[in-house]
Amino acid sequence: MAASSSSSNYYNRNGGVSFNSSTSSLKGSNITNNNGTKVTSSASFKRKSSLRRSSTGSIPAGSATGKDSSGGVRGRVRVAVRLRPRNAEEVVADTDLPDCVELQPELKRLKLRRNNWDSDTFEFDEVLTEFASQKRVYEVVAKPVVESVLDGYNGTVMAYGQTGTGKTYTLGRLGEEDTSARGIMVRALEDILAEISPENDSVSISYLQLYMETVQDLLHPANDNISIVEDPKTGDVSVPGATLVEVKDQKSFVELLCLGEAHRFAANTKLNTESSRSHAILMVHVKRSVKGKDSALSVENGSASHMTKILKPPVVRRAKLVVVDLAGSERIDKSGSEGHTLEEAKSINLSLSALGKCINALAENSPHVPVRDSKLTRLLRDSFGGTARTSLVVTIGPSPRHRGETASTIMFGQRAMKVENMLKIKEEFDYKSLSRRLDIQLDKLIAENERQQKAFQDEIERIASEAQKHITEVESNYAAALEKEILKFQTQYLESTQKLEEQTVKDQEQFGKGKVDVAQKDATIDKMSGGQSATLLAEINEVKKLLQDETLLRKAAEEEISSLRNQLTQWKRLEASKNSEILKLHKMLEDESHEKAKLEEEIAVLQSQLLKLSFEADESRRRLENGAKLSGDLDSLIPQANLQSSRDLGDGASMAKLFEQVGLQKILSLLEADDADVRIHAVKVVANLAAEESNQERIVEAGGLTSLLMLLRSSDDETIHRVAAGAIANLAMNETNQELIVSQGGINLLSTTAAHANDPQTLRMVAGAIANLCGNDKLRMKLRGEGGIKALLGMVSCRHPDVLAQVARGIANFAKCESRAFTQGNMMGRSLLIEDGALPWIVQNANNEASPIRRHIELALCHLAQHEVNAKDMISARALWELVRISRDCSRDDIRNLAYKTLTSSPNFQAELKCLRIDYG
């Protein structure tokens, strides 16, 4: 049939092309009509079939884009047309009729036949023949959009066309049997998952259908009336009520698509045996991290300038890929719709009509775009005239019987090519990630400061020990030397005095004897006569000579005595000087004592400052745990902390300097302080340190574990009990520490604490500590014998979910130890848990709503069931039904497989199932 002049003008206004006879010609983007005039298309048709990725995240130049003053990038909607091959019905019915369309893919041109001698010509961005592969369609239509999504832009891929022309085949074909038949959805997710980093990035999907103007969740069919929310500031459209599932691999994504397709509405019509009766919308949310450089901030501290490294919050790009499989447009008389199917067709045609009106308004730059006429147009608000990069594939059939529907589909694509979007990157700061990094950095600083404090304290003790040792050695040396000299001088003095006295006595004896001899000689001379006088005179002279010799000897002895007296005086002076040196040493010792006292005073001041710091750290950690929001300028967080610490210290010292002066021994000594507040702050600091595995060994070596157990034994403060139990729970993660806790009576102390505790958080800490001990095979009997299992079961009366989760974990750990003991032949009787009455509570909570409780209880049941001696008790307690449920419905593969293996390998369970006529195995 021939087109009238009015229809020709209509197509010129709305499609950007003009119809002419079969001799019409196209040159570039100018098309000549019947009257010889040239009509210029609003968009260039010479585009590359594929786009190159941009390393800067901008849209490639091949997409007809341009920069905008607001920082966005202009991008026209790209349209491709795909021809479906003839189906079996058309091969029979249209044997003598030629196809209504003729494709020229090399020129990206399509001719729509009016009659045997006249046709209309259209140009698209891509023209895909009936022989085009699914891979070719994906690379031409969707791959440029997927690449833009990975760069941070929103993107939309949509299929439009008559019912039965292959929209669902193009978009949603899974290709489970033939991978080459995979559609755009599967291939797009494959490319996205290949490009992202599993550690830093994430991909999540929602799968919806718009049925009878109602948004329904295909992944959760019970959610059948989802509202559409629009941000009044940005105009972004979202569906917060839809199920959002994170995707890790291609297999899980295909399973989700299968689940969604099973819930999608379809019906049998004359045009298609599986005609979609709803619009399917797949939303893929991509979050990618963009690594940035850290900055440095100069902070003045007194006269010195320090550079403090401040971490910038990481930049995150959030993009959304929307894949829309529209329901097919149809005529009632051709589809043969009746009853409810007729109502479905009316709803589909109304929504598609509203979409066509919006695209007409956008193509003509109309001031009003009727977006709110349909929920479909509201959902696609960002795709046409918004900020998303959009690619449209229109599907047509070759049958001349449906020429009217084919022409309408082609004109829809022509008008869509005139719509321009303003593409913008979706970037934001990841403050949560920065908060986690700051927490890690703070913990590292605390650990480093603790190490420096310990080194400083050790250095002080070493210097004091060396000084005391040196003083002791000097005193000992001087005392020994002085005593030796005094003894030497006394011995010499006594010897000299004795010699002198002996010599004096001897001289006196010789002198008296000489006088007697002279008197005797004189008498003899008087008696003797003349002849002997000469002999006597000679003798007298000799005696005189002897007397003179004796006199000389006496003078020499007196001189020697005088010399000895001088030496004694010198020795006394030397003794006085030695005494003076000893006094100096005593004075030095007193000075050292005063210096030591000053150091002890400084340590006391540092302990007080440590208490202030621990209080501030506890307050900061509490604010972070309660989800307090960070301040607007996170880059100033660390400088503010340093400034506050400077105010607290009063001398401008930094936090690091404060930690350098406090050691672990001093912190542990505060656990025995008389002030209750000091003990509370000290135990909180120890608990925070015990949370780091690197600190646990040092805490135990320094006696911290003994001090914590002593606090449980001696203190009546429940706050101290709660924090001390938490610290013991952290230390109990190490196997060596577990044995120390048990050897020091820790099980009895924890049981007693649980019996007197009223606060659920205290019970949670105690249950966590006992649960850690339950995982040690060596402590199984001691734990039960000292009342640990009974204490654990006694805490279930609290009914707090956190306490129950720790109790369930402890039971699972104990059951696992029993399972290992049974396997190794170290256990023959039935389970100690069953003997202590834990089985009814385990069965009651096997299907608990809280997933942590349920997961641990399911694992405990599986381990108990592996011991054949427990089978009869478990059957009578109805635990067998829970095992069957776990083997079928458990969300974790390992627990589900363990339950199945246990059921199939147990003769007692198999016999009971057989009696119940349940075929299992």
Please tell me the distance from the alpha carbon of residue 141 to that of residue 270, in angstroms, as a whole number.
29
CA nearest to 380, candidates 228, 201, 499: 228
56 annotated as a binding-site residue = no
Asked whether the beta carbons of 852 and 808 are under 8 A apart, the reply is yes
Give Cα 232 to chain centroid, integer Å.
34
Please tell me the distance from the alpha carbon of residue 778 to that of residue 817, in angstroms, as a whole number.
9
Q: Which DSSP symbol is given to 108?
A: T
- Spatial neighbors of 338 by CB under 8 A, at least 6 apart, are none
Query: For residues 204-230, b (16+ Cβ closer than 10 Å) or e, as one string?
Result: ebbbbbbbeeebbbbbbeeeeebeeee
Pairing of strands 237-238, 315-325: unpaired
Beta bridge pairs of residue 119 = 113
Q: Which DSSP symbol is given to 142?
A: I
396, two tokens? 């047509």
CA nearest to 328, candidates 159, 119, 453, 469: 159
Please tell me the distance from the alpha carbon of residue 500 to that of residue 666, in angstroms, as a whole number.
69
CA nearest to 898, candidates 807, 816, 840: 816
Please tell me the distance from the alpha carbon of residue 120 to that of residue 23, in angstroms, as a whole number.
10
164 annotated as a binding-site residue = yes
Please tell me the distance from the alpha carbon of residue 384 to that of residue 388, in angstroms, as a whole number.
8
Beta bridge pairs of residue 305 = 300
Q: How many angstroms separate the Cα of 527 from the Cα of each of 334, 517, 537, 918?
A: 197, 15, 15, 166
Rg (CA), the chain: 51
Residue with tokens 């049925």: 211
Please tell me the distance from the alpha carbon of residue 614 to that of residue 611, in angstroms, as a whole number.
5
Please tell me the distance from the alpha carbon of residue 870 to that of residue 902, in angstroms, as a whole number.
12
Q: Which DSSP symbol is given to 786?
A: T
Asked whether the beta carbons of 136 and 304 are under 8 A apart, the reply is no
Please tell me the distance from the alpha carbon of residue 851 to that of residue 830, in angstroms, as a whole number.
28
Question: What DSSP letter does each residue of 48-78 carry, written as one string?
Answer: -SS-PPPTTSPPPGGG---B-TTS-EEEEPE
Q: How many residues does the chain have?
A: 921
406 annotated as a binding-site residue = no
Please tell me the distance from the alpha carbon of residue 406 to that of residue 114, in angstroms, as a whole number.
12
Q: How many angstroms separate the Cα of 812 from the Cα of each of 738, 807, 862, 867, 892?
A: 18, 9, 9, 14, 15
CA nearest to 219, candidates 228, 207, 211: 207
Beta bridge pairs of residue 78 = 391
Please tell me the distance from the alpha carbon of residue 759 to that of residue 756, in angstroms, as a whole number.
10
- Spatial neighbors of 295 by CB under 8 A, at least 6 apart, are 310, 312, 635
Pairing of strands 389-396, 295-301: unpaired
163 annotated as a binding-site residue = yes
DSSP, collapsed to helix, strand or coil, labels residue 46 as: coil
First vs last C-alpha separation in the chain: 70
- Spatial neighbors of 557 by CB under 8 A, at least 6 apart, are 500, 503, 504, 507
Beta bridge pairs of residue 655 = none
Residue with tokens 């979609």: 276
Please tell me the distance from the alpha carbon of residue 223 to that of residue 221, in angstroms, as a whole number.
5
Binding-site annotation, residues for ATP: 161-168
Binding-site annotation, residues: 161-168
